[in-house]
């Protein structure tokens, strides 16, 4: 860990007048990456945040690492599941304990640019948006950028969101005062997609067209799972969360496959 752990007392009291952001971070056996993730949050130019880390019964040094940050930064809140319950339940626990007006999502192996929160909140307040996402790039296990930038449509309606999961989880933010508490369905993979669908029924999702986050690709990444498993969990999400019929769930899953191809063609750019 090369950077110093920040102490919130060193910041001017004026940041307390900013609206609180609750950062939702489920984790499991992420000792290799979680310190860098926390440091990317502490480096934010927008400083009034709480980072809610829910540990799904890790058996590595994740708890030790988080504790070392907690000792010097009271904005970090840590919950540890007594048994392994899955990322959906862990994310829901974090959401249930969130106190902020703004809800943001950051998995424990991903990173944010320092001005991510500041720029996204300003974008939403200026335009009176309640739901937004940003572009992001991909990095490897050593945090080296892979030269790929991922974007999406400027506006995502509820029908578009059901057709495909356009936003990267690490870029999403919504206004909890306007949208309310949202929970994800209890499936093992891509469960946050069910939250985006629920929110999109209340508000369109708008793109802030800037790279403000870094998605880490490694052997345990969602993007490295087999295609058959991804299709299976998409189908279960529509059946369980959206309570669609078997036929409708199959049609929506096929739609997701089609628009996934479209996203790779249109919204992935090399740099």
Q: What is the pLDDT of residues 222-242, one digit of tens each?
A: 544 566 777 877 788 888 777
Integer distance in angstroms from the first to the last C-alpha of the chain?
29
Closest CA to 208 of 80, 118, 83: 118
pTM of the shown model: 0.89
Whole-number pLDDT of residue 27: 95
User: Domains of the chain, with CATH numbers?
Assistant: 18-270 (3.90.550.10)
Question: What is each CA distance from 261 to 163, 256, 258, in whole angstroms?
Answer: 12, 9, 5
- The proportion of the chain whose per-residue pLDDT surpasses 90, expressed as a percent, equals 68
Q: What is the mean pLDDT of residues 145-161?
A: 96
**Contact between 183 and 95 (Cβ < 8 Å):** yes
Question: Residue 1: which pLDDT band, with cuts at 50, 70 and 90?
Answer: very low
Both tokens of residue 13?
A: 């009291």
Question: What is each CA distance from 164 to 33, 114, 126, 170, 227, in whole angstroms?
Answer: 29, 29, 27, 17, 15
Per-residue pLDDT of 33-79, as tens digits, reads 999 999 999 999 999 999 999 999 999 999 999 999 999 999 999 99
Average pLDDT for the chain:
89
Residue 189 or residue 152, greater confidence: 152
């Amino acid at each position: 860990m090369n950077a110093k752990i920040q102490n919130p007392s060193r910041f001017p009291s004026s940041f307390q007048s900013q609206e609180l952001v609750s950062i939702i971070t489920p984790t499991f056996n992420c000792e290799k990456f979680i310190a860098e993730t926390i440091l990317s949050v502490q480096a934010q130019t927008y400083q009034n945040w709480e980072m809610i880390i829910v540990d799904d019964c890790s058996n590595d040094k994740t708890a030790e690492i988080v504790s070392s940050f907690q000792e010097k930064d009271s904005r970090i809140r840590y919950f540890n599941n007594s048994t392994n319950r899955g990322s959906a339940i862990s994310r829901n626990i974090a959401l249930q304990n969130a106190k902020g007006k703004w809800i943001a999502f950051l998995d424990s192996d991903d990173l944010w640019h320092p001005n991510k929160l500041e720029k996204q909140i300003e974008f939403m307040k200026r335009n009176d948006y309640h739901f937004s996402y940003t572009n992001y790039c991909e990095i490897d296990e050593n945090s080296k950028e892979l030269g790929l930038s991922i974007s999406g449509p400027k506006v995502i309606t509820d029908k578009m969101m059901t057709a495909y999961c356009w936003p990267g989880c690490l870029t999403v933010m919504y206004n909890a005062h306007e949208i309310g508490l949202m929970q994800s369905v209890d499936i093992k993979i891509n469960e946050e997609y069910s939250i985006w669908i629920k929110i999109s029924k209340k508000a369109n999702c708008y793109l802030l067209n800037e790279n403000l986050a870094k998605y880490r690709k490694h052997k345990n990444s969602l993007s490295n799972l087999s295609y058959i498993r991804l299709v299976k969990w998409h189908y279960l999400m529509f059946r369980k969360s959206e309570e669609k019929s078997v036929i409708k769930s199959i049609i929506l899953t096929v739609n997701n496959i089609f628009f996934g191809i479209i996203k790779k063609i249109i919204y992935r750019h090399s740099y």
